[in-house]
Chains A and B, each alone.
Chain A
Amino acid sequence: MATTPSNMKGFYKLKKNKSGITKPTSSKKSSLHLVPSLGSDITQLTALISHGSPDLKDYHDNHEELMRQFDINMAYGPCLGMSRLARWERAQRLGLNPPIGFEGLLKAEKVRSECWWDGRI
């Protein structure tokens, strides 16, 4: 519903309404940014939608696949609760020789900074 400027002023001004409760004239709904455009099952999609956008592209990214293998590898310890870069640096410091290319990938932000399960568990 279109509103005139004077109406908007009346709406936002902090003064007591003389005529009791008035409905706000602006009916601008706060839009849900995460409107699912594919699929109908909303509960399923909230799991996929993290960080504000559906990350379907991660499934097909080769770099992401490599990083997932890094996450799963038990030799570098648990992956939850740590950013990937912190985990890589810890592995480096403990002398576990993590692949050096990963540091470059993480610092150039070509892959997600958190592990694969972050936000999903």
Chain B
Amino acid sequence: MTAMEIDTEKNIQRKHSTYQSLDKTFDIQNEIYRGQQYSQIYFARLHTMRTLLYSLVTHWKPSCPCLLMTFISVILEVSGNLEVMVVFRVLDFNGIGCEVYVVDRGHLYMVLVNFISGAFFKFFFSPICNGLGFCTVLGLEEGKECIIVGTLFKHMQLKPCVLDEYSKERSAVPLVKPHNFMHPDDHLVLEDESGRVKLGGTVLSPSTYVTGGVVALHGKETTAGDFLVLDVFEAGLAPQIEPQLKSREDKYVVFISGVSVGSSTSNPLQFQLLVDHITGHLGDEQEQGIAAEIVHVVFAGNSVEIPLGLLNGQNLASKDQSRVSEAVQVLDILLSQIAAGVSVDIMPGSNDPANFALPQQPLNRCLFPGSRTFNTFNSCTNPHCFELDGVRFLGTSGQNIDDLKKYSEARDELEFMERTLKWRHLAPTAPNTLGCYPFTDRDPFLIESCPHVYFVGNQDKYGTRILEGSEGQMVRLISIPKFCNTGLAVVLNLRNLECHTLSFGAQPSTLKTFNDA
């Protein structure tokens, strides 16, 4: 047996990657509370999504001879055989444009015109969707088919309401909160600035939708005053930017969530094994070679758990004070071991010492005196968006999906994630049931550019899937399980976006093997 010696020629180098953080929209910075109202964020959301849906809805209903448009203001005649009706309307936030309606041989076509520096123009011919007009809720006419765009509101019987405390009759609703507030009698309502209308019909199933999503609906008003939905249109996946550099070598990103240092269920040996594996202190040369290909580590929330009994608002005795800070100190020690070798992102979760409302601000750097000395250590917001070698990542610590689980149903977490991508909104239930900062000028949770990897932490089980969009977008959806319960970390290969798990166990009988999906 050869003696172990330090081979200086066979020094394994860790691979590098370019990291760029895109968290600027989630930073609250110097915002001051001056009495902002939540209606402002709903307005920003509705306006942005409505402009987007108006421009996309032409893909929804393909060409057909048409009927009259509801808004026609100026009629101009242009030389030639075309009769031109010009409607000036702002198209989208990129620039001012107008819609030009052109009648050609009895068919009405809509032409989108962009004004570029005052001169002429880019023409996009696109027939009007089936001649249907857009309507506001107040402008609905009975029996007339039209398209309305608005925010969905789901009226739920079992949703806890603060007024229940004051109701005279103690109804049969149990005081213990169920994990899911759905009820067969839930119905959907569509709301825009002018009013709201109850939605009927069988096309829209209330169990799939939640309050806060913006959709376009095709249908007509019934005699009862409801809106009978004939078809639904969601925005779909956002456009995706192709990563410029397609790396040809395997580079891995490790995702961990729910480490819960300091809780009774966490096993410190498991976490130490994980840290040792990432830093290359485990195993032989082959193992170390694999570990050297890890370029980034992401802690997706709930890294620490402070004993709840201590946080009851009372002044802490000195021995209790050390208990509170113990968990964070242990986490700092382990993070500094990782940060010494790899770039680390740590995101706050629901149990972490960060603010409650989304977007959660980065964990304060003074909590990590050891790790913050490394420039590889990044304390990030929740939700977190970053780019690694051109591959775009977007993820949260799980609060958005957990809230969706309470108010709607789906096969698994991946389907909830797919819905949030299709609605182009990370957390549609914010600020209704999910705590949210009252932004007035923008909605930071709108997904403008589709990520390549979308991850959610603190889930019950591991799951992963590739989601394909209508325009060729490909997203890897990852549901990261809680590390303290399962001992699983998720590893993603940047080259081909394939996923597998790393399983750590303290007893041999608890080791499980998982295949990548």
Would you call A34 an interface residue if the criterion is a C-beta within 8 Å of the partner chain's C-beta atoms?
no
What mask results when residues 71 to 111 of chain A are scored 1 for a CB within 8 Å of chain B, else 0? 00011011011110010011001111100000000000000
In the complex, what residues of A have CB within 8 A of residue B156's CB? none
Docked CA distance A91–B426 (Å): 24
Interface membership of chain B positions 86-105, coded 1 if the CB is closer than 8 angstroms to chain A and 0 otherwise = 00001111001000000000
Complex Cα distance, B326 from A62, in Å, reads 64
Beta-carbon contact of A81 and B44 below 8 Å: no
Which of B39, B96, B438 has the most CB atoms of chain A within a 10 A radius of its CB? B39
A9 to B48, CA, bound (A): 65
Is B40 a contact of A94 with CB atoms below 8 Å? no
Main secondary structure of the interface of B (DSSP, over half): loop
Q: Is B35 an interface residue (CB 8 A)?
A: yes
Report the interface size class on chain B: 20 to 34
Contacts across chains A and B counted by CB atoms under 8 Å: 50
- Which chain B residues border A90 with CB–CB below 8 Å? 44, 440-441
Distance between Cα atoms of A79 and B502 in the complex (Å): 52
> Interface digits, B12-56 against A, CB 8 Å rule (1 contact, 0 not)?
000000000000000000000011110110011001100100000
Closest to B35 in A: A81
B193 within 8 A of partner (CB): yes
- Sampled A-B contacts (18; CB under 8 Å): A74-B194, A77-B43, A78-B43, A80-B39, A81-B36, A81-B39, A81-B40, A81-B440, A82-B440, A86-B440, A86-B441, A93-B93, A94-B47, A94-B48, A95-B90, A95-B91, A95-B92, A96-B47
A93 proximity list for chain B (CB < 8 A): 93, 441
- Residue contact B193 to A74, C-beta cutoff 8 Å: yes
Other-chain contact of B93, A75, A82, A95 (Cβ < 8 Å): A95
Q: When chains A and B are docked, how far (Å) is the Cα of A78 from the Cα of B438?
A: 13
Q: Are B37 and A78 in contact (CB under 8 A)?
A: yes
Give the CA-CA distance A64 to B176 in the complex, in Å: 52
Which 4 residue pairs are nearest across A and B when measured between Cβ atoms?
A77-B43, A81-B37, A95-B90, A78-B39
Given A86-B440, A86-B441, A90-B441, the answer on whether A77 and B47 have CB atoms closer than 8 Å is yes
- Indicate with 1 or 0, residue by residue over B422-447, a CB within 8 angstroms of chain A CB atoms: 00000000000000001011000000
Q: Which residues of B contact A (CB under 8 A)?
A: 34-37, 39-40, 43-44, 47-48, 51, 90-93, 96, 193-194, 438, 440-441
Interface string of A17-56 (1 = CB under 8 A from B): 0000000000000000000000000000000000000000
What residue of chain B has the Cβ atom nearest to residue A82's Cβ? B440
In the assembled complex, the Cα of A97 lies from the Cα of B91 at a distance in Å of 12
* Cross-chain contact B44 with A77 (CB below 8 angstroms): yes
Identify A80's interface contact among B37, B91, B92, B194, CB under 8 A: B37
Closest A residue by C-beta to B90: A95
List the A side residues contacting B96 at CB < 8 Å: 95, 97
A83-B43 Cα distance, complex, nearest whole Å: 16
Contacts A77-B40, A82-B40, A95-B92 known; 12 new A-B pairs at CB < 8 A: A74-B193, A77-B39, A77-B43, A77-B44, A77-B193, A78-B43, A82-B36, A90-B441, A94-B48, A94-B93, A95-B93, A97-B90
Residue of B nearest to A91 (CB): B47
A51 to chain B: closest CB distance in Å?
15
**Shortest distance in angstroms between A12's beta carbon and chain B's nearest beta carbon?**
36
Residues of B within 8 Å of A89, CB to CB, are 441
CB-contacts of A52-70 with B (<8 A): none
Query: Roughly how many angstroms separate A12 CA and B194 CA in the complex, as a whole number?
Result: 61
* Interfacial chain A residues near B93, Cβ < 8 Å: 93-95
Chain B nearest Cβ from A67, distance in angstroms: 18
